[in-house]
Structure 1
Amino acid sequence: MAKFMCIKGILFFSFWQGVVLDVLAAAGVIKSHHFWLDVEHNQEAIQNVLIILEMVFSIIQ
């Protein structure tokens, strides 16, 4: 049951992380410093790294 709740929590928080990253990108906090990457790609990369870190910590638990 604990693992199930942990995975559900990760899904819940990853949704809200995406919302926060959307707001930060719209506000101009997340910027692109390269001409071949736009803000959406940077935002997706940040989201993916956060999810990977959360999954690693959930497996350790």
Structure 2
Amino acid sequence: MKQLFITGLLITTTFFVFGQNAEGLINTKEVERIEKVLSADDMMGRKTFTPYIDK
């Protein structure tokens, strides 16, 4: 039983070791552009039920 548990544990932990490489998925220039658009003053907060939500 103990050997079966350890074997199962080793099999499941290998899934976490081989993750995706995020380097090719995230473009830093695009992230900066999106952050600048969302943090711009002309967005005026965009809270729900405010007149600025429909910009």
**Fold match (TM-score > 0.5):** no
Relative contact order higher in (CA < 8 Å, ≥ 6 apart): 1
When Rg is computed on C-alpha atoms for both structures, the one with the higher figure is: 2
Query: Which structure dedicates a bigger proportion of its chain to helix?
Result: 1
- TM-score by structure 2 length? 0.32
TM-score (norm 1): 0.30
